[in-house]
Amino acid sequence: MSTGDYVRYLRAVKGGPTPHDIQEATGITAGMYRQLEQRYREVGDEEELTKLAEYFGVPAEDLIKRSPWTRKALSEVLVNARESQQSISIELRNGETIVGSVGWSDLGAALILSDDRREIVVQRHFIDRWQLVD
């Protein structure tokens, strides 16, 4: 799960404060916060992510470690897996791992055809980690 998806989740859990509310509490501009939630690339430096982690009551490492796991990177690996017909291993937020081929993907979800022949639609924001399988 990207940092943006994770902070969007944390904001919902906290009751939906606005980006302006977050700016007032952390000093991080509302514009930067919006970019963090909406961009497909890495946004925010370690200092800003640490302030957000404090605000949301999670360890800073929870946000920092997600920086390289962007939505753009997930899109790229899903397309590559589908085009090359290579299996992908997907670790879900609940700790479950699914291994299989990609049937389709869009900006919200992906269809994984699991090795045990199940068709599983996975919401992209529920994917924590991924890797191509040899």
Q: pLDDT tens digit string along 74-102?
A: 899 999 999 999 999 999 989 999 999 99
Residue 130 CA to residue 102 CA, distance in Å, equals 12
Q: In what order do the strands lie in the sheet with 127-132?
A: 119-123, 109-114, 97-105, 88-92, 127-132
Topology at the third CATH level for domain 71-132: SH3 type barrels. (2.30.30)
Whether 9 shows a pLDDT value over 90: the answer reads no
| CATH 2.30.30.100 domain locations along the chain | 71-132
Q: What's the pTM value of the predicted model, to 2 decimals? A: 0.70
Topology at the third CATH level for domain 3-64: 434 Repressor (Amino-terminal Domain) (1.10.260)
Residue 25 CA to residue 20 CA, distance in Å, equals 9
| CATH 1.10.260.40 domain locations along the chain | 3-64
